[in-house]
Structure 1
Amino acid sequence: MVSAYNDLDRPPLDERSLQRALMTPGGFVSAVRVLPSVESTNTALIGAAQDGAPHASVVVAEEQTAGKGRLGRTWTAPARSGLFVSILVRPELPPAAWTWLPLLAGISARDAVARACRLEIGLKWPNDLVVAAGELADRKLGGILCETVPGEAAVVVGIGVNVSLRQHELPVPQACSLALAGAESTDRDPLLRALLRSFGDWYTRWSEAGGDADAAGLREAYLRACVTLGREVRAELPGERTVTGRASGVDRAGALLVTTADQRETAIGAGDVVHLRPAAGN
């Protein structure tokens, strides 16, 4: 009998099993599709949302050929080597509160991965999953991209996690995978279930708090998990501007606060943040 896949370390996900486990009465997930290959799970789910897909619909891909990253970047990974998943939400909250969705997704993924894999995981602002300790500290394990759905009061939350990538498969030298970081398990099925349940729990708490991240406990949890805070950083902003200083906090809208050498505090709502190494002798 010919196998449906050729890498025994990377078994496929079972759509029906995931549906039975996740689409339960009182549960968060309303629909789950597992697709063999797509350009981008975000693009696929945005199309489904415009066709009327319900809140909490989920699309998972075994392979992405043009995954979307922040600032228009694209990326690829070997089939079944990671979690490539997008979640549709239709928040019944003022759009001003939606700025917390990328951070909510980050803390949800961080909690799930740390618990399922028994690893120390941190968040590099706003929502990159990174190794939090040891020789591989700051190596990126995954990222998140939230996109609004054109013509809809809806957001697609895309989450990508490097699960079983080997050293030669990493997209960039500063990346990492759960396997390389020493995860106790690299089974994508329980990890995906944990991720979606964690997201559902945090989303429900945030929604019931009216989008108030403090009342939901979201801001406090994020501050504990964010490894950017207290670090010297360089924020690369739109328009080729940069701000350099110490990451001193996260404000009520989820923006990173950077205190510059002249003690001015700047709120960074969008941009790339680079962790700077301490100067020699410091």
Structure 2
Amino acid sequence: MTDPETPHSRWSDLDRPPLNERALRRGLIRPGGLWTSLDVVTTTGSTNSDLVAVASSRPEGTVLVAEEQTAGRGRMDRRWSAPARSGLFFSVLLTPGDNVPVHRWGWLPLLTGVAVATAVARSAGVDTALKWPNDLLVTVDGEERKAGGILAERSGDEAVVVGIGLNVSLRATELPVPTAGSLALADAVSLDRDTLLRSVLRSLEQWYVDWREADGDPATSGLQEAYAAGCATLGRTVRAVLPGSVERVGEAVAVDGDGRLVLAMASGGRYPVGAGDVVHLR
């Protein structure tokens, strides 16, 4: 019999029970719904990398969840790591091409942010703000902390894999950097990962289906308004580090119809940022 205190035992941290794969499937996969399969693996390098590799042979709505990621990735190839079963680490396969023009696919990470924030507020009682374009922020001891992130990657001409990482039960001593946070540190009313994952996927399904039925139009679907309402970047002075190490500093005043962050420059002009790293200056 395996010693339950060994590092490799799935029960070695009873505060962090494993996800109930069977119950998750039962609650999320239904005829006519978006989610078509859901698999939970004990550990993997990156759920995004795994799903991108098999995207051409899998249907839309495939969900891959890992209890632990050893090579999780964020934007700009940043690494994402956390103790096993301390968060939600999963990727979903979406194929919006039949309804949504490709130029609107850039809204998918922003849509996912709205869906996650909505679900976390509902299920964990934590107000989650969005930092453009794809960070999830919570308040810990009066300070904004990053508790999650989103990474969208194209796979071929038809598919997009969207990965979500969310710190749930990380303790202060387990944070990878001092500016990180978790739902536990933000005083969540619940840290039940099964409930959180069901809530996030149901919220994501609702937002995605509404957006797709609106042909990806962010205004008609209500996505643009919802994102702006929850975006902590708007109204602040920011520094945008653009590809090629070019920097722009201005006040973030809007998210336009293409999902770009619009900066009001000191010179009086406006500058749309479509890609880059944004730092909140105040």
TM bin, normalised by shorter chain, reads over 0.9
Structure 2: runs of 5 or more not aligned: 5-9
Give a deviation string over 1:104-154, Cα, whole Å, max 9, x none. 0110111111111111111011121102x57343211100000001x3410
C-alpha separation in 2, matches of 1:83 and 1:119: 15
C-alpha separation in 2, matches of 1:223 and 1:139: 19
1:261-272 alignment to 2 at 5 Å? 261-272=266-277
Instruction: Kindly indicate whether residue 191 of structure 2 is the aligned counterpart of residue 186 of structure 1.
Output: yes
Instruction: Kindly indicate whether residue 99 of structure 2 is the aligned counterpart of residue 105 of structure 1.
Output: no
Instruction: Kindly indicate whether residue 242 of structure 2 is the aligned counterpart of residue 218 of structure 1.
Output: no
- Which of 26, 50, 69 is the aligned partner of 2:32? 26
1:63-102 alignment to 2 at 5 Å? 63-91=68-96, 92=98, 93-102=100-109
Alpha-carbon RMSD? 1.2
Instruction: Kindly indicate whether residue 236 of structure 2 is the aligned counterpart of residue 231 of structure 1.
Output: yes
Aligned pair count reads 274
Counterpart in 1 of 2:161?
A: 156
Structure 1: runs of 5 or more not aligned: 278-282
C-alpha separation in 1, matches of 2:191 and 2:54: 30
Counterpart in 2 of 1:121?
A: 128
C-alpha separation in 1, matches of 2:173 and 2:143: 19
C-alpha separation in 2, matches of 1:98 and 1:138: 28
Instruction: Kindly indicate whether residue 213 of structure 2 is the aligned counterpart of residue 208 of structure 1.
Output: yes
Counterpart in 2 of 1:41?
A: 47
C-alpha separation in 1, matches of 2:186 and 2:84: 20
Counterpart in 1 of 2:7?
A: none
Counterpart in 1 of 2:265?
A: 260
Report if the CA contact (8 A) 1:69-1:145 is conserved.
Answer: yes
Query: Which secondary structure state, in structure 2, belongs to the residue aligned with residue 106 of structure 1?
Result: helix
Counterpart in 2 of 1:280?
A: none
C-alpha separation in 2, matches of 1:58 and 1:262: 47
Give a deviation string over 1:184-234, Cα, whole Å, max 9, x none. 001100000000000000000000000100000000100100011000100
Percent identity between matched residues is: 54
Query: Which secondary structure state, in structure 2, belongs to the residue aligned with residue 116 of structure 1?
Result: helix
C-alpha separation in 2, matches of 1:200 and 1:164: 25
User: TM-score normalized by structure 2?
Assistant: 0.95
Query: Which secondary structure state, in structure 2, belongs to the residue aligned with residue 165 of structure 1?
Result: coil
Give a deviation string over 1:55-93, Cα, whole Å, max 9, x none. 010000000000011001112110000000101001122
C-alpha separation in 2, matches of 1:225 and 1:6: 38
Query: Which secondary structure state, in structure 2, belongs to the residue aligned with residue 246 of structure 1?
Result: strand
